[in-house]
Structure 1
Amino acid sequence: MEKLIEILEELKPGVEFTKDTKLVEDKIFDSLGMISLVAELSDEFDIEISPMDIVPENFATVETLYEMIERLADED
């Protein structure tokens, strides 16, 4: 989770991220920001995030995003 928060802080400086931070609802990431986030996560965690994974449930909070990363990492 620590690495994920570091990535989020690099992409959105000035936002204090916690596991409960609402990424979409609080409009921290717009659609363009999501594309950057997905690319960064794919590279950093060596995972493939498919279009089917890019759903609000997976990107709702930092915690749900982390759970998706763990699930995708386990699939490889």
Structure 2
Amino acid sequence: MLAAKLMDLLKSVRPESDFTRSEDFLEDGLLDSFDMLTLVSTIDDEFDISIDGLDIVPDHFRNVQAISLLLARYGVTQ
């Protein structure tokens, strides 16, 4: 399941954070801009895609649902 995989990737970026309790990772301080770039790189490697720089914006990384929607645009559904 994509959501579970994304949670694993988020934990690899910030293992000390509890992403399950947040609806907005950035607003709640769980991710910062550097973490976002690290996550993009991790996602690119994991799913063999290349997220366009124009898509690396806070709205696409606020929560698992937002990240899933972004990945769906790149053909990643599971």
Number of residues paired by the alignment? 74
Q: What amino acid does structure 1 have at the position aligned with 2:11?
A: E
**Partners in 1 of 2:21 and 2:48 — Cα distance?**
21
Q: 1:39 aligns with which of 22, 27, 41?
A: 41
- Over the matched positions of the two proteins, sequence identity in percent amounts to 35
**What TM-score do the two structures reach when normalised by structure 1?**
0.81
Q: What amino acid does structure 2 have at the position aligned with 1:69?
A: L
What is residue 55 of structure 2 aligned with on the other side? 53
**Partners in 2 of 1:19 and 1:50 — Cα distance?**
28
**C-alpha distance 19-48 of structure 1, shift in aligned 2 (>3 A):** farther
Farther off after superposition, 65-74 or 43-52: 65-74
Runs of 5+ consecutive residues of structure 1 not aligned to the other structure:
none
Q: What amino acid does structure 1 have at the position aligned with 2:6?
A: L
Runs of 5+ consecutive residues of structure 2 not aligned to the other structure:
none
**What TM-score do the two structures reach when normalised by structure 2?**
0.79
Secondary structure of 1:18's aligned partner: helix
Farther off after superposition, 55-64 or 14-23: 14-23
